[in-house]
Structure 1
Amino acid sequence: MQNHMKECRNEGVPFLTFPELSELPQFHHAFSTRLGGISQGYLASMNLGFGRGDDEKTVLRNYRIFCHATGFPIGSLVLTAQDHHTNIRRVGREDRGAGILFPKPWQSIDGLITNDKGVTLCVFGADCVPILIVDPISPAIGVCHAGWRGTVGKIAAKTVLSMQREFGSLPQNLQAFIGPSIGPCCFEVDEPVEREFVALKTLQPETLIEEKSNGKYYIDLWETNARILKEAGVLKVTIGGLCTKCHPGLVWSHRASGGKRGGMCGMLMIREEEER
């Protein structure tokens, strides 16, 4: 599948962007890779995941390095509290720094939305699907983390609904971007997980699942989430097409590393007026 993401580099730190999203001047975004940080050993080198066995001061230093290279004020970051649920939380300027400068005051939040400028929403992954959603009209933004549980729970559609309810966003005005994650070439599951996707009858699941001869199945998380977004009324969905398991030298992959890995972060904000 074609890769619709661009690899950029600043001050020796590589990061990934969507060229189409970069063309919308009111928004700023970037995805980290596994490169450019100071972590050591199996976490080398850009680990942005707290709780992966890294020293917290090292992880915080990685954030400072990445934010400096990509132009995000570190004090503007707001972190999810991901545990494969489908809860969405609205955050604002008063929440800036949550999870970075002070502990997150929430649990089980796999999606964030805001219409405040200068608030950077962060979503994490290392095979699971990170999704960025923008409303250029309001403007407003949302991010969500869709592992297979979040995917079948339609967290992407719930993020759209939350933006519609909180900000008056019209789904047809939204644009969604599916970031680096495990692709249909590599996401292998057993029958119990396959049955969860078969149950998504309105999405034509038979075209999303490929049966293998050993009782396993390949599932296309990218296209599943794209169809969920389109079913929710989003007309423009861009699939990045970068499979994490296929590119373990560039990005973190839980499956490729056998679980010995760091974490990547996707960041999205509405720019302050003076930043444009």
Structure 2
Amino acid sequence: MVEEKWEKRSERVLAATVFSNVMPGMFAGFTTRHGGVSKRPYATLNMGFHVGDDQNDVQRNRSLVAADIGFPLTKWIGSEQVHQAEIAEVTAADAGRGADCLETALPGLDGIYTQEQGLLLTSLYADCVPLYFAAKSAGLIGLCHAGWKGSVAKIGPKLLGIWKEKHCVSASDVHVLIGPSICASRYEVDEVVASKVKDALGGEAAGVLTPTKPGHSLLDLPMLNKQLLVAAGVNPSHIHTSNVCTYESDAFFSHRKEKGRTGRMMSAIGLQKG
């Protein structure tokens, strides 16, 4: 289950070692579904407050992960995640938002980034694509939640545009990690979705859409995001893509496999204080 790019920090946490090496003191990781206290159908390490799980169990799960990765909950920052492409810069003033309850999460955002050390950016998943960003020259890190809607809205390239405009960072200097998500063989979509994918790619969807039955195609979400990022100027050698499928691996929750009633994994990125 754990590929070469990921190292087991604990039963609960995988650390993306190949990506963390981009910047000194950077932690980038992804939680599993194991090692927590939640009951079925959220067994056991559900990190999401919004899925119907016992809130005390989710808080306990988060405390366990905080101990594993060395970032206290008071430094975590989480957003609402509404399957769109709004992005905001966060600072120490936002520390703790969304960490121990949903009500304090940053509203209306699927992407957050920071230049500050000591903060942990977090996002939640159960098949969607986690996108991690790092620009060493500017000391910037970012995290975007990319389901199909966020992907075709180009949330990844949008973050790159913000960094270029506000922080003078070239896309060619940015490193990206595409984390565990559902694989193409398990993700069939209808023609409505397929047409939006084609529009996002300028009409050419080779390697991203594979036709199946009439009006349906298999969608490779990680490849879609990679192609969009490369088109936006990211050096292909700076993009690290996980080959782990959240549907096929029993280490993860899968919204599609479990028909919507399941827990959530958490992606996280932060810079330890030097």
TM-score normalised per structure 1: 0.92
C-alpha distance after superposition, 1:19-78 (max 9, x if no partner) = 211323231121001111100111110000011111212111100001101222211100
**Hey, what does 2:150 align to over in structure 1?**
150
Equivalent position to 2:247, from 245, 248, 254? 245
- 1:127-185 CA-to-partner distances (Å, cap 9, x unmatched) read 11110000111111110011001010000111111222333222111100011111112
Instruction: Indicate the residue corresponding to 2:79 in structure 1.
Output: 80
Deviation at 1:201, TM superposition (A): 4.0
Amino acid at match of 2:264: G
Matching of residues 1-276 of structure 1 within 5 Å: 3=3, 5-10=5-10, 13-24=11-22, 25-101=24-100, 103-104=103-104, 106-202=106-202, 204-235=204-235, 236-247=238-249, 249-273=250-274
Distance 1:183 1:140, change over 3 A: same
Tell whether the 8 Å contact from 1:119 to 1:269 is kept in structure 2 after alignment. Answer: yes
Q: Does the Cα contact within 8 Å between 1:160 and 1:171 map onto a contact in 2?
A: yes
Give ranges in structure 1 of 5+ residues lacking alignment: none
More off after superposition, 68-77 vs 32-41: 68-77
What is the percent sequence identity of the aligned residues? Answer: 29
Deviations 1:230-271 (A, max 9, x none): 122111111111111111x10011011111100111010122
Per-residue CA distance 1:4-30 (angstroms, 9 max, x = gap): 5424043xx332222211323231121
Determine if contact 2:77/2:105 at 8 Å carries over to the other structure: no
**Which deviates more, 109-118 or 206-215?**
206-215
Structure 2: 5+ residue stretches without partners = none
Q: Within 1, Cα distance between the matches of 2:162 and 2:79?
A: 16
Give me the CA root mean square deviation.
1.8
Q: What does the per-residue CA deviation read over 1:82-129, in whole Å, with 9 as the maximum and x for residues that have no partner?
A: 011100011001110001257436321000011011111111110111
Q: Distance in 2 between matches of 1:51 and 1:74?
A: 18
User: TM-score by structure 2 length?
Assistant: 0.93
Q: 1:60 to 1:127 in 2, by over 3 A?
A: same
Corresponding residue SS for 1:245: coil
Counterpart residue type for residue 239 of structure 1:
T
